[in-house]
Structure 1
Amino acid sequence: MPFSDTDFRERFQWHGFDAYLAYEQLYEIGLIDEDQLLPLEQYYDLLEDEETIDVLNTLGLPTKNITPKGILKISNTPATNPEFQLTLRNENGEVLKQIANVQMPFVFINSEKFVLPKDVWLLHEAILSSDFSTGYEKTAKVSEYARKANIELDDFLTRENYHYIDKYEVVPELHNSDLMELKIVGEDEIITEHLNSSGGVSSIRKGMTRERYQSSPEVKADLELIHKKKYLRGHEIPQFFENPYSLFPEHNFVFDLEKFSDRVTGFIEIKKPRMMQKEGKWGWFDNETGESLDVDEDELKTVISKNPDKNFVPYKNSWIYVDKALRKQLGLVDDSGSEKQPKLVLDILDNEEKLDYIEAGNEKRKFKEYDIPTQLKADLFDHQKEGYSWICSLEENGVGGLLADDMGLGKTIQVITFLLRQRQRNSLKPSLIVLPIALIENWVNEISKFAPELKNSIYVHQGGGRIKNVSKLENFELIFTSYDTLKIDQLLFGQIHFKNIIADEAQNVKSHSSQRSRAIRAMKGDFRLAMTGTPVENSLEELWTIMDFVQPGAMSALSEFRRKYIKSENYDELMELLKPYYLRRTKDEVLKDKLPAKHLLPPKYVQASTVQQQLAHSMMVNVKSGKANVLNVLTNLRQMYAHPGIFEHVNEHLSINDAPKLKEVLSLLEDIKKKNEKVLIFTEFRKIHAILKREIALKFGISVPVIDGDTKNRPEVVDRFNKTAGFAVILLSPKAAGVGLTITSANHVIHYTRWWNPAVENQATDRAYRIGQQKEVFVYQIITQDPRNFPRGTVEEIMHEMLSVKSDLANNVIIPFDTSTLQQQVAEAFSKQN
């Protein structure tokens, strides 16, 4: 485990403390296992990454390769219990174990240390392993690794040449328009013949030698399934290309089935006709490519009518995908319910071109107050009581809702209170909570803390061992799963009628055409609630998509929604339409007298160092000569002004004066330390995280945790930081830390580099400025000026100016913020001065 605060402060000035900081960095991103070990598989991955190889060097771990020669000998026969002896030698033929300290996979020779190639280590592990079903399998695996590692084989293994087959390809071959064969192909003709034989074991004699082939257990299991469905006929052919898993459900193949479709692009044509309007004219177009299609409606209706149970029908030398939307457009009514959906992908009436599916709630619904369940272990604020009663009112009237409270107002506790009430009313089982995987642990912790009565009702549906039985799932009261797992298991969940479906951080289903969105909109439920403080990030279509989950039909069809609200920007009328289903409160509205003040301080300006000026000049020379793209250079400049040490060729020669922004932050932290308070520092650049972590830790003698997209144990990192006494600093990525974290132990927020969207910055700040904050919050921005290169402003100055102008827009979560346009505007303003 990482050092306690006391241990850290006692030891940070010790020689070699950099090594501990490197260990802490690996721990925070989840590479250190529960036994405080770095798995060797992860170690070899780190060796391939330029950014992390520095971490290994700092830890004093070997990073230089040594490529040995060697010989592998076998005793006993493969049929019994084969034993192997591996002898490794250096370039001079000397046995490594005699001249070096070999601790596999590391080799220590005098003061030098090396790491053996990964294939040599895997060979060594295979020799020691007992996880083989037969001696033949072990011999084949060991022999295969030896060949990959260029290790010489003894006479027996040379004569009896074992091959371990753990990969294959599948090549679809179309014999005619109605028959396709799935051919199993290996690396050569002999392996192909072996793969197509039964039993997974075969041999061929060649003179004095014999070639023996052994398939891995995984390959054998794959091939047994594929051979059962080796020939596809009729509509199965396009179904295979559209969704190969529908023909091979619930099996994890060694070979990625999705690659079939990529491999055979153009091999078979699948059209998805839609009647739509383009450039003022109505006609038939492909729904995915937009290509104009030659469709005779009567002819197509006849073909589909002759195949009422088929998802694919042949039409004019291609296959037509027949979904409910196409049947509707052709006037074909299917009341029989006999239409089959492609397995694992649920088709829906998507309400996009036409309003095909409406769920009407009680038009006479009234809001009323509801008693707080006595089992709740929390005192709710007034706005939380109101939100809880609002949710209960919606549910009792059969209406869905969008809870869009500002970040930090306690959306989760309002919903937990509602779930407790549902438990009292026997209206909880089964309920589905869908959310980003990173938030599942946070929800479980909140329930354990505030509603312990529900703790034993939770089932987390994640990972390879998740339940695949509908009747078992229906017996759980609370099922937590991620959006991606719901997408994968949509056929399973689609068979369950849920009492309640809750979508947290519902902006994850903002794209109406995504499988995430279509999957959650396909679920059956009595009550649906979406939770998000940012229902619109880029386009109003995102709001429509969320609402089509919440209350299908309430926002009309997407085509109509675009015309009435997106093109016209008629936001006032849209808010009136949304009002019955929408609740949003801001901190300014409900916590004005309950939260301490938040101070957005004037930006602190620093002057670029000589090193930064030289680097900036070089970058602009490349822009003017056409060697570099302006947008790419803007990103590089933002990082370089953050710290020039991101460039390896200058890193060794830098002093604190070469990084004025860092110098300013360290000075700022000195003042905050005197107050014994805590700080959040936001930047999206990982290299800057590493630099800041090292510099702050070594100056102040404190552990500096990092939360970015790689951090697997976010709640643990935050909990440890919150419990740290006195002065402390944590580094965060604004996007990775923008949701699901409460860090009210800090009351200073430094935006070390700016983010393109002020709403994202506000969410980041709200990690600290939320319910539970006891101190005034101070928000800092540090901006670099470089008048020598950029007299009209650096990229940081221009970003700050434009973001300040647009900050009011960011507070309205319904009006979309156009990040890409802002980036282009910054690039144009930046280019005008050069």
Structure 2
Amino acid sequence: PAPGALVADALDALTDAAARAALADVDLARGGRRDTVVGCWLTALTGPAREFTAAPDALRALRAELDAWQRDAVGGAVRASFRLVEPEPEEIADPLVVVPADPATVVAADGPWRIEFGLQSADEPGLHVDAGQVWRAPETVPALAGPLDSPQEALLAELGRAGRLWPELDAALRTATPEGLELDAEGAHRFLRDGAPVLHAAGFGVLLPSWWRRPSARLGARLRARGRTAPGTVAATSGGVGLDALVDYRWEVALGDETLDVDELATLAALKTPLVRLRGRWVELDPKRLAAGLRLLRSAGELTVADLVRLGLAEGDRPDALPVLEVTADGPLGDLLAGEVERRLTPLDPPPTFKGTLRPYQRRGLAWMAFLQSLGLGGILADDMGLGKTVQLLALFAADPADAGPTLLVCPMSLVGNWQREAARFTPGLRVHVHHGADRARGAPFEDAVHAADLVLTTYSVAARDAVALASVAWHRVVLDEAQAIKNASTRQAEAVRSLPARHRIAVTGTPVENRLADLWSIMQFANPGLLGPASSFKQSYAVPIERHGDAATAARLRRMTGPFVLRRLKTDSSIISDLPEKLEMEVLCNLTAEQAALYRAIVDDMLARIESSDGMERRGLVLATMTRLKQVCNHPAQLLRDGSALPGRSGKLDRLEEILDEVLAAGEKALLFTQYAEFGAMLRGHLSARFGREVLFLHGGVGKADRDTMVTRFQSPDGPAVFVLSLKAGGTGLTLTAANHVVHVDRWWNPAVEDQATDRAFRIGQRRRVQVRKFVSAGTVEEKVAQMIADKRHLAASVVGGGEQWITELSTAQLRELFTLEAGAVAE
């Protein structure tokens, strides 16, 4: 079985067992005795035995009880409403002047607060009747949801239902005609904090004062920080500030725009009431937050830059802490905390030794990296594919002083040659040493080679194998290209590169979040260790709320936290780049041949027959194997059968591909063809070269570095081959193939980030023609259905779109049947 499926199955069983163990001693008295059908049902839900036996009549009785409970819980066409009314100013006694010379006052709000009852339509909340009218003149109550036989009975029933959820309403229900409930300040606060959310969640109408939940109705903190360098200056490049550097600070406590001093806070704390009217506005006073505010005002001293950044950009998360409304600092730290550093900085010109011209946004990127370096902080250069991350880095390297020390650049093996070529082109004076291959330098020769170089290139696999030797060098800078290679923080190569000592760290990636937020944590842990806290707390504070619950506020907080250290510009932003040609993406539906359809149905029928008698890991493995076989059939029967049979006329995708290539070659243009299956790529190469009488290049994981570089050079030359077949994993990143202006995804990886990376081999700076991207999908098959699911989720906020197909294994048999079954019209006539 797949490791992921095995772990998921084990976690399911362990979680269920833990929950049942925790609930084993729950008192079931409220649900019924264990010898009743309700008691047996509750025991099966919570105890070690997961089933129970009951007669048909008893089960029908259980069903009736559950239906009645659900109707009672959900309510009907009308619902009770609850409106909280605060005391009028003249009703509040004992005004307390905090500062006699100041006209501002703090007024204790002991009451009377009042909850007013009413009745409203569940479908049209605007149709509302006060409880007083219901009791005094029921005949005048308008039709809230069709004619009501008895508005009074409906109101009583609704109030009774609400009372079970919020028992403090029971006091009002002891009267014959309840119209409302009077409360003191503590009772009103309990209703605002606890009762109103419960009632609202249950479907009742709840109307609260407009000031509630406004930030100005709560105390907050402002932090003023001062760096140890003079304002307006930047620390020396060799020193920097760093996340561990100390800054002086002092706190202020504020209500909205107004600052409160220690005396005012102490007076508020002495009132011992949760709600007061302060300076003409209602304010919630939490004793723990008041105490926290007093501690802050009485504290001053120093904290680290990392703590300052966390306080200033992530806000306080603990309920007993004051939310941080603002953090200000002087000098470069102030610029960092202000946000949009890249746009505030003056664009930086590359040094004379850089042989090239940077675009304006690239000069801003250079200034941003130099700025972070001056502070001793790391960053993630996450510009969109093709915006020239390489030249920005080379300009930064060229600006290093002669005695700065070497830069180590770690990249995939496929990119070593590209870095060598680009360095020779843009920074010919840069001394480059490649630490790779079986004959790479070791021991003293390695040390000599490193100290004689300005830029050392190595690969992730070598970095993991030679971790001790590389960690013995005091690197000026460590750069990770295609940094998504360390998205799994626990891998050997991720741990190896994080252990490398360096004064400055840069991670380079076009996809900082490929599948999950843990990717971002791992990359940021390299760039700025400790900034996002431990992995476990990051998961609890950010990953779970954002990925599972779509928490927009938490996502915004994470963006603020990482924003100063992540620079991402998009090709689609005309303010960044205006001369990049258009990219046209289209989904091309291909019909199956009769042979493909017959094989497809046979595979589905076989799976559905076998899945009925399988479960757990066996079921998951069967579903994944079926998915692979169906995708192979959609490509070509010969890929599934592996019989070496002829290809022409047997695949709708192949027929459509030939039609497209006819047009491409007739126009004198070039095309990239991506497939996730290396074996199918080899089949395409042989067939297409014979079909068109031309050489077809084929790049896959088994191609060595020298041959790979030769292929790229030949394809990029005007008279080179016009068709390039690439396996998605081997050719999807790091290559510049702008000679092509057609991209065809013959089969789908179903991860938008991976597909975009592959497309951007052609759609990048240097491309002068409009790029046409075609994504093949077999009509009526699982390919079309999953493609639609992915399209529905393809927005940046949902950056986690599962990189594989494990989610399909969790579908029910009925859902699998619907997903896999071949639709009518899928076969070509």
What TM-score comes out, normalization by structure 2 length? 0.53
Query: What is the match of residue 567 of structure 1?
Result: 544
RMSD: 3.0
- Distance in 2 separating the partners of 1:546 and 1:727: 38
- 2:623 corresponds to: 630
User: Contact 2:624–2:806 (CA<8 Å) still a contact in 1?
Assistant: no
Contact residue 673 and residue 727 of structure 1 kept, 8 A: no
Question: Which residue, out of 684, 688, 693, partners 2:680?
Answer: 688
Q: In 2, Cα distance between the equivalents of 1:624 and 1:448?
A: 59
CA distance in 1, matches of 2:528, 2:642: 57
**1:578 and 2:562 matched:** yes
Verify: 1:467 aligned to 2:403, yes or no.
no
The match for 1:755 is 749
1:305-324 matches, within 5 Å, as none
Amino acid paired to 1:451: T
Shift of 1:721: 0.9
Please state whether the residue corresponding to 1:620 is helix, strand or coil.
helix
Letter paired with 1:613 = A
Q: CA deviation at 1:757?
A: 0.3
Structure 2: gaps of 5 or more residues? 1-17, 22-242, 244-302, 310-331, 337-344, 547-553, 612-620, 822-829
The aligned residue for residue 382 of structure 2 is 404
Q: In the TM superposition, what are the counterparts of 1:56-75 in structure 2 within 5 Å?
A: none
Give 1:649 deviation, angstroms: 6.9
The residue that corresponds to 2:795 in the other structure is 808
Deviations 1:104-143 (A, max 9, x none): xxxxxxxxxxxxxxxxxxxxxxxxxxxxxxxxxxxxxxxx
1:53-85 per-position Cα deviation (integer Å, ceiling 9, x unaligned): xxxxxxxxxxxxxxxxxxxxxxxxxxxxxxxxx
Q: Which residue of 2 aligns with 1:451?
A: 427
Q: 1:593: Cα distance to partner? A: 2.1
Q: How does 1:149-168 map to 2 (within 5 A)?
A: none
Counterpart of 1:831 (choices 803, 817, 822) is: 817
Q: Which moved more, 1:632-641 or 1:740-749?
A: 632-641
User: CA–CA distance in 2 between the matches of 1:380 and 1:581?
Assistant: 21
Q: Which residue in 2 is equivalent to 1:784?
A: 778
Pairing 1:12-51 to 2, within 5 Å after superposition: none
TM-score with structure 1 length normalisation? 0.53
1:553 alignment counterpart: 530
Change (3 A) 1:795 1:530: same
In structure 1, distance between residues paired with 2:658 and 2:768: 25
Q: How does 1:502-541 map to 2 (within 5 A)?
A: 502-541=479-518
Report matched runs for 1:270-419 at 5 Å: 363-364=333-334, 367-419=345-397
* Distance in structure 2 (CA, Å) of the matches to 1:462 and 1:359: 43
With over 3 angstroms needed to count, the CA separation of the structure-2 counterparts of 1:481 and 1:727, relative to structure 1, is closer
Out of 689, 704, 726, the position equivalent to 1:697 is: 689
> What amino acid sits opposite 2:424 in the alignment?
S
Q: Of residues 620, 629, 632 in structure 1, which corresponds to 2:604? A: 620
Identity %: 32
Shift of 1:742: 0.7
> In the aligned structure 1, how far is the partner of 2:804 from the partner of 2:507?
24
Alignment match, 2:63: none
1:796 equivalent to 2:783? Answer yes
Alpha-carbon displacement from aligned partner over 1:15-54 (angstroms, at most 9, x marks no partner): xxxxxxxxxxxxxxxxxxxxxxxxxxxxxxxxxxxxxxxx
Q: Compared with structure 1, are the counterparts of its residues 430 and 649 closer, same or farther at alpha carbon in structure 2 (3 Å cutoff)?
A: closer
Letter in 2 for 1:696: L
Whether the 8 Å CA contact 2:581–2:770 is kept in 1: the answer is yes
Deviations 1:556-586 (A, max 9, x none): 2223222221122121100100011110001
Map residues 86-101 of structure 1 onto 2, 5 A cutoff.
Answer: none
1:463 is displaced (CA, Å) by 2.5
Partners of 1:623 and 1:642 lie apart in 2 by 19
Q: 1:399 to 1:378 in 2, by over 3 A?
A: same
Q: How much does 1:488 deviate?
A: 2.0
* Partner SS for 1:626: helix
SS in 2 for 1:587: coil
What residue in structure 1 maps to residue 765 of structure 2?
Answer: 771
Distance 2:775 2:499 in 1: 45
**CA displacement, residues 448-506 of structure 1 (integer Å, 9 cap, x when unaligned):** 1111111x343434434422237423343222112222222222222221111111111
767-776 or 468-477, which deviates more: 468-477
Q: Per-residue CA shift, 1:147-194, capped at 9, x if unaligned?
A: xxxxxxxxxxxxxxxxxxxxxxxxxxxxxxxxxxxxxxxxxxxxxxxx
> AA paired with 1:717?
M
**1:77-109 deviation per Cα after TM superposition (whole angstroms, max 9, x unaligned):** xxxxxxxxxxxxxxxxxxxxxxxxxxxxxxxxx
Corresponding residue number in structure 2 for 1:594: 579
Mapped partners of 1:649, 1:521: distance in 2: 44
SS of the residue corresponding to residue 705 of structure 1 reads: strand
Matched, 1:656 2:610: no
Matches of 1:801 and 1:437, distance apart in 2: 35
Q: Deviations over 1:616-672 (max 9, x none)?
A: 2322232133188222121111112211112457643x5622222111111111111
For residue 493 of structure 1, what is the aligned residue in structure 2?
470
How far off is 1:553 after superposition?
Answer: 2.1
SS in 2 for 1:668: helix
In structure 2, relative to structure 1, the CA distance for the partners of 1:624 and 1:814 (3 Å cut) is closer
Distance in 2 between residues matched to 1:368 and 1:655, nearest whole Å? 59
Distance 2:484 2:464 in 1: 15
Aligned-partner SS, 2:443: coil
Cα 1:681/1:830, change in 2 over 3 Å: farther
- Report the structure number with the largest CA radius of gyration: 2
Asked whether the 8 Å contact 2:714–2:720 carries over to 1, the reply is: no
Instruction: Report if aligned partners of 1:429, 1:475 keep a CA contact under 8 Å in 2.
Output: no
Secondary structure, counterpart of 1:453 in structure 2: coil
Q: Determine the C-alpha separation between the residues in 2 that align with 1:555 and 1:566.
A: 12
Aligned partner letter, 2:625: N
Query: Which moves more between the two structures, 603-612 or 659-668?
Result: 603-612
Alpha-carbon distance between aligned partners in 2 of 1:645 and 1:827, rounded to the nearest angstrom: 31
Change (3 A) 1:359 1:703: farther
Provide the C-alpha distance between the structure 1 equivalents of 2:757 and 2:717, rounded to a whole number of angstroms.
22
Q: Distance in 2 between matches of 1:690 and 1:557?
A: 45
In structure 1, distance between residues paired with 2:581 and 2:678? 32
- 1:641 matched to 2:611? The reply is no
Q: 1:782 to 1:522 in 2, by over 3 A?
A: closer
1:433 alignment counterpart: 409
The amino acid of 1:668's aligned partner reads I
Change (3 A) 1:698 1:359: farther
Task: Please state how far the C-alpha of 1:827 moved relative to its aligned partner.
Answer: 8.9
Once the 2 structures are TM-superposed, how far is the Cα of residue 615 of structure 1 from its aligned partner? 1.5
C-alpha contact 2:763 2:771 (8 A) present in aligned 1: yes
Matched AA of 1:363: L
Aligned to 2:190: none
In 2 relative to 1, CA 544–444 (structure 1 residues): closer, same or farther, beyond 3 Å? same
2: CA distance, partners of 1:513 / 1:661:
40
SS in 2 for 1:629: helix
Q: Distance in 1 between matches of 2:404 and 2:412?
A: 22
Structure holding more helix per residue? 2
Mark the runs of 5 or more structure 1 residues left unpaired by the alignment. 1-277, 282-348, 350-354, 786-792
Distance 1:649 1:721, change over 3 A: closer
Q: Which amino acid counterpart does residue 526 of structure 2 have in structure 1?
A: F
Look up the equivalent residue of 1:582 and give its one-letter code.
V
Alpha-carbon distance in 2 for matches of 1:827, 1:818: 21
**Contact 2:697 2:721 (C-alpha < 8 Å) held by counterparts:** no
Which residue identity is paired with 2:483? A
* Stretch deviating more after TM superposition (775-784 or 553-562): 553-562
Amino acid across the alignment from 1:635: T
Relative to structure 1, the CA distance from residue 739 to residue 647 in structure 2 (aligned partners, 3 Å threshold; closer, same or farther) is: closer
Task: State the distance in 1 between where 2:424 and 2:679 align.
Answer: 37
